[in-house]
Structure 1
Amino acid sequence: MLELPLGKESAEAAQFSLVELRRGAPQAFQANHLVIDRGALQVSPLEPGDYVLHDYESGQRVKIVVGDAESRQGFVAAAHRLLQTSRQVPLVIRQAEVVDGQLLVQVSGADEMTRVHIVAHDLLPDISNSRQLQLPYPPLMQRSIPAVQSHYVDSLQLDEEYSYILSRQGMKKFPGNMLPQPSLLVHPWEVSVTENQQQEAQLGDVMPNMAAPGAPPAESSAKRRSTATASRPDWKSYDFLAGGAAIVANLALVEGQVRIPLEPLAGYSSINVVVVHPTSSDSRQVVLQDSELRVRDQRLRESFDAQQHLSQVQKVELLAAGERKIFGDPRTRRLQAYTTVAEVFQLYSTLLDDPRWDKFRFVGRWHQLTDEERRARYNEMACHELNFFLYHKDPQFFAQVVQPLIAQKLDKQLVDRWLLGEPLEAYDELWQMQRLNTL
């Protein structure tokens, strides 16, 4: 007899269905083999074959394979397949209720590896914790043993050439030959007209490569149990609750039962009892009476003056070394300090998300580069922006390398003339101003 935990004390018979399969297709319903007893679904002995157990409430499907053979070393060798037997422990919560001020939990099928977890909630949860704590069960092996295939071919039509040869071999033999008789005339006249007709022998049926397929080829199939869970788009917020859940974990069973005092669970209205084992799990929901829902006030106690116009702004402040500044109430402000060029460069790398920007990452460690490395980097990435950066951050390198290079340019632009300290009055002309870009 197969016994599966329900996850609750009882259930309606219409919640489950047992279907017999033949070649993967439904053959018959076997609902009369299902019995619900004390928190467990029992499946009475079945005939050898494949079955599928449906749980319409949770969406679970359990495949049951029955073999008519003796089990040896964890395997059942049937006539046409080899099956691995399941080693799951039939763990079932038989009783979970409050008795004499204590929570009494009684479990059948428990061993030394079984543990009990208690999760107390303010509200009744819509998801069972047993599924979240259930370990994945190793897949069971199933190997089909094919029947011996027949290579005899029946009812093939031969082509006409083979048919003619075979028919001539079976005809009655006569002495002589079939050559034309010789003529008595030395030079006879040909007075008849000969008409030649050609008839091609028709082909027969093509010889198949092999006979009709017999049993499916031997293969090893191992499918992990899948549980269909409904999607939960209805996200809920529980910020109004005064506290979170209370957990009492890793309780061992003594003679299949455990008692938990209710003092650590005081104030909660729902208790979820979860019994776990490496191969199976079960859960039960216990509702506590006379429990008041604990909530917290989420109303805004202190609000802004309605006569003032307020808005959230972003602002950048530049501070010199050693300078202090007061930013006000830290509860209403978020602050991020950037103390090095490398940190500022990383900020813009995140904002821009452009691989070309990473080529200038060396500016964050410009002070760590040697003179040869600086010249090589500048020779590769020279531009107005880098010249402006070096003008402020490395005046010595700018005077030795950048300034002589800019001075030799034939067509100097506005930035070049500004870096060289040349007068810019020529750009007051409108036509000169229109030639400039944003930078």
Structure 2
Amino acid sequence: GRFEHLAEEYELELSMRARRNSFIRGEMAPVELRAHLTIHGHELPLTLLEAASLTVTTTQRDDSEIRFELDTTELLETGSLRTELRVPESTLLFEAELAGRVSSLSREKPSLLSAMSVQSTAGSDNEETVDGFYLTRTSGGFAIERRGRSGELRPDRPVSVWCMRGEMAFEPVELKTDAAGRVELGALDGVEIIHVTDDDSEISAGWRVTRDHVWLPETVHLRAGEVHRIPYAGRATAVDPRFFSCLELRGHHETQPIPVRSRIEALSLRGGFLEVGGLPAGDYRIDFKESGQQVLVRVSGGRAIGDRLVGRHRVLEPSPAPRPHIPRVEVAEAEIRFAVVGGDASTPIEVVADRYLNGTRYWWSDPFPDLRQRISEGSAATYLTGRDLGDEYRYVLDRQRQPRYPGNPLERPGLVLNPWMLRETSTERFGAATGGAWAGRRPTGSDAAGGELEEDFGGVQLDRDLEMSPFPDFLPDGPVILRDLKPDANGWVRVPIAALGGNPFVEIRAGSTTRYVGLEARDFAPRDLTLQRGLDPDRHASEQKRIVPLVEG
């Protein structure tokens, strides 16, 4: 047998979650901090962090910094901390740092850990342009607004719009804003990216179109014949090859698995979940063609022993129960209602209403637990008939077996009589080749590729390369965030539309599911960002540097 001892290496992660439009200068911005302490992918309680400190640094436009500390009690006990940060007028960014130490069992000294998260709050006054494009949602789909720095509408202005669907880009369309400074785009079915430009004003912006989304685990482990439910938020009402595929994979773990047949009959849609069941032992891949996500399903033909699925050739860690899911959302005249399946009293349910679409997402799903597998193969008895040696090693061995003869006892010619020719030279070192084995057993157990404890991480990487809209300093209020919502006796959560502040872009989140709803946008009075105390244009002004001594008293 073989035992591989992993080093005692801890990892600390910190994320600052806040909507970009929340950082209105002079106001309080709601912020949520989340931290994770892990060792080789295993979650550890944050209470192991000793002498913990949470420092927030505010960087101003003149490069000055303001530091203050927050209490870490709630963060260490629950893993999250909700607070509000005041946004000074000249703030550029917030930087949060969590630091502490963890007592090490294998070292004499503790492990020092730190994690950092940065949130930019740069306003539109850092931009070179005076106009900006903003993407919002309406009851009819999406719309683009063109506004100035103080929120003034820009009617009858040219707008060039082009869209992308996958790798296919459509031809640009030349449009013009209406009297309200808006361009209605409609539902944009199938469109993934919107990009707008105005070459005359040299302004542009791009957005990834938000659709209902579910964060899925990368890997699912289950027993043969077991049914597993995967949350689904797409448009399909039945299992259709246009939306799903389930392929059986074959191949050794050292090579890339190859699809051999379709197993789509093992899939079914029921109650907002994609159910997979009735599969024999093996490996399968489920493709969600709408979102491009893939889930690897490993099925064990063994039995459950403790917290593992033990089969003949591998040991799997079983998948946990599905996270809470929002099967559907209904919009009535005065309220938005939705049901949450699989949740309990502690399930965080949030609704966020914003005026415009952010360039970054407010909500990140917590990482799924690392599902591990260990491949075990029987030891093979192998008879080795020979081994091909490298040229360097063979030369040395052959020279050792050659007969030796007496050499010439005379002195060799010296450099005085035979000097070296002066020229530029270069040297290069080559290592001795090890050769290749003629025959041998395949690596087994933890020696095999993938035989070690493999770590699978869930989640989707978001594209943050798109050019964002200027910061909407002119908004009178930040987004409306409703937290800790509770379902009624029938399992429904009801949110009055009047409580959303007239914001049309609504996000509903529970578990790993995010739903989007578009309402009709209401007019608002922008904040007056004009310079109140300016210089008199009819008089001359100059800047002077003077040194005046202080007089006692």
| TM-score between the two structures when normalised by the length of structure 2 | 0.41
1:245 alignment partner AA? P
In the alignment, which of 360, 382, 405 is matched to residue 151 of structure 1?
Answer: 382
**SS of the residue 1:250 aligns to:** coil
In the alignment, which of 259, 262, 279 is matched to residue 46 of structure 1?
Answer: 279
Q: Name the count of aligned residue pairs.
A: 269
Give the aligned partner of residue 260 of structure 1.
Answer: 495
Separation in structure 2 between the aligned mates of residue 273 and residue 67 of structure 1, nearest angstrom:
36
Give the aligned partner of residue 506 of structure 2.
Answer: 271
Give the aligned partner of residue 369 of structure 2.
Answer: 138
Residues 185-334 of structure 1: pairs in structure 2 closer than 5 A: 211-213=440-442, 215=444, 217=447, 218-236=451-469, 237-254=471-488, 255-276=490-511, 281-289=512-520, 291-296=521-526, 300=530, 304-306=535-537, 315=545, 317-320=547-550, 322=552
Cα gap change, 1:75 to 1:108, in 2 (>3 Å):
same
Report the CA distance between 1:7 and its aligned residue: 4.7
Q: Could you list the runs of 5+ residues in structure 2 that have no partner in the other structure?
A: 1-226, 388-402, 404-434
Cα pair 2:507 2:514 within 8 Å, conserved:
yes
Report the CA distance between 1:245 and its aligned residue: 0.6
Cα pair 1:3 1:90 within 8 Å, conserved:
no
1:62 alignment partner AA? V
Give the aligned partner of residue 105 of structure 2.
Answer: none
**SS of the residue 1:264 aligns to:** helix
Cα pair 1:129 1:272 within 8 Å, conserved:
no
Q: Deviations over 1:383-431 (max 9, x none)?
A: xxxxxxxxxxxxxxxxxxxxxxxxxxxxxxxxxxxxxxxxxxxxxxxxx
Separation in structure 2 between the aligned mates of residue 65 and residue 258 of structure 1, nearest angstrom:
36
Give the aligned partner of residue 183 of structure 1.
Answer: none
Cα pair 2:360 2:464 within 8 Å, conserved:
no
Report the CA distance between 1:307 and its aligned residue: 5.4
Cα gap change, 1:19 to 1:321, in 2 (>3 Å):
farther
**SS of the residue 1:258 aligns to:** strand
Q: Deviations over 1:246-292 (max 9, x none)?
A: 0110123345322233332141212211113xxxx212112224x31
1:270 alignment partner AA? F
**SS of the residue 2:454 aligns to:** strand
Cα pair 2:244 2:288 within 8 Å, conserved:
yes
1:211 alignment partner AA? G
Cα pair 1:4 1:92 within 8 Å, conserved:
no
1:239 alignment partner AA? D
Give the root-mean-square deviation of aligned CA atoms.
Answer: 4.0
Structure ID, larger Rg:
1
Cα gap change, 1:298 to 1:100, in 2 (>3 Å):
closer
Separation in structure 1 between the aligned mates of residue 544 and residue 303 of structure 2, nearest angstrom:
76
Cα pair 1:5 1:39 within 8 Å, conserved:
yes
Give the aligned partner of residue 359 of structure 1.
Answer: none
Cα pair 1:268 1:293 within 8 Å, conserved:
no
**SS of the residue 1:108 aligns to:** coil
User: Does 2:300 match 1:67?
Assistant: yes
Report the CA distance between 1:152 and its aligned residue: 3.0
Separation in structure 1 between the aligned mates of residue 236 and residue 360 of structure 2, nearest angstrom:
18
Identity %: 23
More helix by share: 1
Report the CA distance between 1:239 and its aligned residue: 2.2
Cα pair 1:58 1:229 within 8 Å, conserved:
no
Report the CA distance between 1:127 and its aligned residue: 5.6
Report the CA distance between 1:88 and its aligned residue: 3.5
1:139 alignment partner AA? D
Separation in structure 1 between the aligned mates of residue 230 and residue 362 of structure 2, nearest angstrom:
17
Separation in structure 2 between the aligned mates of residue 31 and residue 298 of structure 1, nearest angstrom:
61
1:292 alignment partner AA? R
Cα pair 1:141 1:221 within 8 Å, conserved:
yes
Residues 28-177 of structure 1: pairs in structure 2 closer than 5 A: 28=259, 30=262, 32=264, 33-35=266-268, 39-55=272-288, 60-99=293-332, 101-124=334-357, 129-130=362-363, 132=364, 134-153=365-384
Cα pair 2:334 2:497 within 8 Å, conserved:
yes
Q: Deviations over 1:298-351 (max 9, x none)?
A: 56376655555657x58464442557xxxxxxxxxxxxxxxxxxxxxxxxxxxx
Cα gap change, 1:153 to 1:110, in 2 (>3 Å):
same
Cα gap change, 1:56 to 1:304, in 2 (>3 Å):
farther
Report the CA distance between 1:111 and its aligned residue: 2.4
Separation in structure 1 between the aligned mates of residue 306 and residue 314 of structure 2, nearest angstrom:
16
2:485 alignment partner AA? L
Cα pair 2:234 2:290 within 8 Å, conserved:
no
Cα gap change, 1:48 to 1:209, in 2 (>3 Å):
same
Report the CA distance between 1:75 and its aligned residue: 1.6
Report the CA distance between 1:93 and its aligned residue: 0.8
Report the CA distance between 1:17 and its aligned residue: 5.0
| TM-score between the two structures when normalised by the length of structure 1 | 0.51
Q: Could you list the runs of 5+ residues in structure 1 that have no partner in the other structure?
A: 157-199, 201-205, 324-439
Report the CA distance between 1:79 and its aligned residue: 1.5
